[in-house]
């Protein structure tokens, strides 16, 4: 009997220990929550706010409606110094004033991405977009040389070739009435990123229905829905009652695509390096993946397959979806403003004359007005409508105390509509970005590629691609937008997209 009593007592002790540990953890979490609640109480916020659930019950479940809701909040609080919302037990500051955003983005203490980014980890791992601390610093330092201007210049050839394929496709639509150009532009961007990032031609433009693109959209929708529903944050709830199965199906498609390309490219590089004669007389194009496969860190260690996978997944998503959306918004705006279109085409005429030659780096420098058009499009429709950071130490923002552990949602979509820096903010005026009109503007008033230490590493790549593709289209066609601005219905998820696409008419230009 004695051993049984001992076992029983031992089991009871374990159970008591477990309950004690659970009570301590619960107490710590509740204490932290109550402390943040008290310290952030003076900051204006939306109502009603419920304990532990916060404002989550007020949020619309549909992505389009939720984005409109956020925009409406920023309009209501435009003249308020700071604004907060609670998503479950987690407090978020909504930042859309340049001076407040600078306080966060310019502070090396607040460089970690917010809690909500953890839902991107199954897809993108902890690559450059989602990593924090030392890992991010090491990775950024390691990857910066791969975006050197000389390497971007090599990518120009690919951009020209894929733009040519796009022009041929668009030519079949010219003179035939309105059509949705969104997918055409997206597949062109996908072809460009696949060849420049991974060294692989996938001929997406020849295959109108891309499973990869469909899964990127589905994944964006699934992740953003989970981010705003705290009851789905615990994995066991999400995979039992939420969209966990759908999430994993899309994830499998996305990962198998990039995995197969990495494997193929690694095999190809190994073959080329072992058989140098086979490559004599031909110019090898470098790809971002080639550099990843050869890159070493400060200690001379190569990246692991997992490291490479997460960076490739990040650049495949960030490098095609954001740029594709930006180009589509620009096409709508150019097609809605004939006087702007004429100015761009006049500039193109001055640079290229009657020639149909590819675009080179010198041409890119001369396309100054086109660059203003791209910037003004990014002001009105930033590809990333909001992003978030974690507040990593107690601080003060605009006179309010903000405790460590709070999160900041930075909203370029609302920031770019600040009438202090952009009078008549809904008007499309590319001249705002001429040097004489930009002088003296707050450095954080326009941040389509984020700002500060964690700004977008690929922004020069993105602007170069936009210039090449938009210039190619406008050298060959006149664009007429067939939607009014209010019909676009922006859908703000991970990327800002028009709900029903971009509908235009094209007319072939005669030189």
Residues of each annotated binding site for heme: 456
Six-digit token string for 170: 């668009």
Query: What does the alpha-carbon distance between residue 170 and residue 509 come to, in Å, rounded to a whole number?
Result: 13
Query: What does the alpha-carbon distance between residue 110 and residue 128 come to, in Å, rounded to a whole number?
Result: 16
DSSP characters for 310-360?
A: HHHHHHHHHHHHHHHHHHHHHHHHHHH-HHHHHHHHHHHHHHHTT--PPP-
Question: Which residues are known binding-site members?
Answer: 456
Q: Which residue has the tokens 């060294």?
A: 199
Q: Report long-range pairs for 31-37 (Cβ below 8 Å, ≥24 apart).
A: 32/405, 33/89, 35/403, 36/91, 36/403, 36/405, 36/406, 37/91
**% helix, strand, coil for the chain, step of 5:** 60, 10, 30
Six-digit token string for 453: 């230490």
Q: What is the dihedral of CA 441, 443, 444, 449, to 10 degrees?
A: 120
Three-state DSSP class for 241? helix
- Is the Cβ–Cβ distance between 308 and 347 less than 8 Å? no
In the 8-state DSSP scheme, what is residue 391? Answer: -
Pairing relationship of beta strands 407-410 and 90-95 according to DSSP bridges = parallel
205 burial class (0-12, 13-18, 19+ CB within 10 angstroms)?
A: buried
Q: Report long-range pairs for 395-400 (Cβ below 8 Å, ≥24 apart).
A: 395/103, 395/107, 395/109, 395/110, 397/82, 397/93, 397/95, 397/100, 397/103, 397/104, 398/81, 398/82, 398/97, 398/99, 398/100, 398/103, 399/81, 400/40, 400/42, 400/43, 400/81, 400/82
Side-chain-side CA neighbours of 375 within 13 Å: the count stands at 19
| Residues forming a β-bridge with 273 | none
Side-chain-side CA neighbours of 448 within 13 Å: the count stands at 21
| Residues forming a β-bridge with 507 | 478
- Is the Cβ–Cβ distance between 112 and 404 less than 8 Å? no
The enclosing H or E element of 84 equals: strand 84-87
């Amino acid at each position: 009997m004695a051993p049984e009593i001992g076992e029983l007592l031992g089991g009871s002790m374990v159970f008591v220990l477990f309950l004690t540990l659970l009570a301590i953890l619960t107490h710590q979490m509740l204490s932290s929550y109550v402390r943040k609640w008290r310290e952030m109480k003076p900051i204006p916020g939306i109502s009603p706010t419920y304990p532990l659930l916060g404002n989550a019950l007020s949020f619309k479940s549909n992505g389009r409606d939720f984005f409109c809701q956020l925009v409406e909040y920023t309009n209501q609080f435009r003249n308020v110094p700071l604004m907060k919302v609670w998503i479950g037990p987690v407090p978020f500051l909504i930042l859309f004033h340049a001076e407040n955003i600078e306080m966060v983005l310019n502070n090396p203490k607040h460089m970690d991405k917010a809690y909500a980014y953890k839902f991107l980890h199954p897809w993108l791992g902890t690559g450059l977009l989602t990593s924090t601390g030392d890992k991010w610093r090491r990775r950024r330092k390691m990857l910066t040389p791969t975006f050197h201007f000389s390497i971007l210049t090599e990518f120009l050839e690919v951009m020209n070739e894929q733009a040519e394929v796009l022009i041929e496709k668009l030519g079949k639509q010219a003179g035939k009435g309105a059509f949705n150009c969104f997918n055409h532009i997206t597949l062109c961007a996908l072809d460009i990123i696949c060849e420049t990032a991974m060294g692989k031609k996938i001929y997406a433009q020849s295959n109108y229905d891309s499973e990869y693109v469909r899964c990127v959209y589905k994944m964006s929708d699934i992740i953003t829905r989970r981010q705003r529903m705290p009851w789905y944050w615990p994995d066991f709830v999400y995979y039992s009652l939420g969209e966990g199965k759908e999430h994993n199906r899309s994830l499998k498609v996305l990962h198998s695509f990039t995995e197969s390309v990495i494997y193929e490219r690694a095999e190809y590089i190994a073959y080329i390096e072992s058989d140098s004669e086979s490559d004599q007389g031909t110019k090898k194009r470098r790809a971002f993946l080639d550099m990843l496969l050869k890159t070493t860190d400060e200690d001379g260690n190569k990246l692991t397959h997992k490291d490479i996978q997460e960076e490739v997944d990040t650049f495949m998503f960030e490098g095609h979806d954001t740029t594709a959306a930006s180009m589509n918004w620009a096409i709508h705006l150019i097609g809605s403003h004939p006087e702007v279109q004429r100015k761009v085409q006049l500039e193109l005429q001055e640079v290229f004359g009657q020639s149909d030659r590819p675009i080179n780096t010198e041409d890119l420098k001369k396309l100054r007005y086109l660059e203003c058009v791209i910037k003004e499009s990014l002001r009105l429709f930033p590809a990333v409508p909001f992003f978030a950071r974690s507040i990593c130490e107690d601080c003060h923002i605009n006179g309010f105390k903000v405790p460590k552990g709070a999160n900041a949602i930075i909203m370029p979509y609302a920031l770019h509509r600040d009438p202090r820096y952009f009078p008549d903010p809904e008007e499309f005026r590319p001249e705002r970005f001429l040097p004489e009109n930009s002088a003296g503007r707050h450095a954080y008033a326009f941040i389509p590629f984020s700002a500060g230490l964690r700004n977008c590493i690929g922004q020069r790549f993105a602007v170069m691609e936009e210039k090449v593709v938009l210039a190619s289209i406008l050298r060959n066609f006149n664009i007429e937008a067939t939607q009014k601005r209010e019909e676009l219905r922006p859908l703000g998820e991970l990327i800002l997209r028009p709900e029903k696409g971009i509908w235009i008419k094209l007319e072939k230009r005669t030189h």
